[in-house]
Amino acid sequence: MNDSNVGVDVVIRSMHRGDIDSVVAIELQAFTSPWKAETFLGLIGRTGAELWVVEHSRVGVIAYGVLWYLLDQGQLANMAVAPEFLGQGLAARLLDHMLELACNRGIKSIYLEVRASNERAAELYLGFGFKEISRREDYYDLPKEDARVMRIEL
């Protein structure tokens, strides 16, 4: 589905247990080393973890994000958009939502890792004000690849 008006048909809300099958389906399409359903289930309702989904009124869950934090430090642990909805601004809307949430929680900085080859995601993060602060050599498997470590000060 490539609906140019997809933005008006979506809502960002907390992830629920009933969303897990849809989230894992997106995860399997987005990543070569995907998280398992148990990982998401273990984070739902956990103190210091915020899980969000973007839900389309006709299609269901089409994107998700995971932010965890301790004291004033946060980490954007996971975020993905269903492939058929890429390029429609959903990742930006979700990231904006999570950054606003982080500010409201008193989080001062957020870190993330992104594959060195994932230019689309890196450009999104840079556009929001994240800065690359280091690289982690051979951080990812399947295939082996460096991670760009990025941080934003809120």
Instruction: For the chain, give every domain's residue range.
Output: 6-153
In this predicted model, what pLDDT tens digit does every residue of 130-141 receive, in sequence order?
999 999 999 999
Which CATH number does 6-153 carry? 3.40.630.30
Distances from the Cα of 77 to the Cα of 7, 21, 46, 57, 124, angstroms: 24, 19, 14, 26, 15
Confidence of residue 3 (pLDDT cuts 50, 70, 90): very low
39 CB-near residues (< 8 Å, 6+ apart):
none
Q: Which residues are paired to 115 by β-bridges? A: 147
In this predicted model, what pLDDT tens digit does every residue of 49-65 receive, in sequence order?
999 999 999 999 999 99
In this predicted model, what pLDDT tens digit does every residue of 86-122 receive, in sequence order?
999 999 999 999 999 999 999 999 999 999 999 999 9
pLDDT of 8 strictly over 80? no
Active site residues: 113, 125
Place of tokens 């809120």: 154
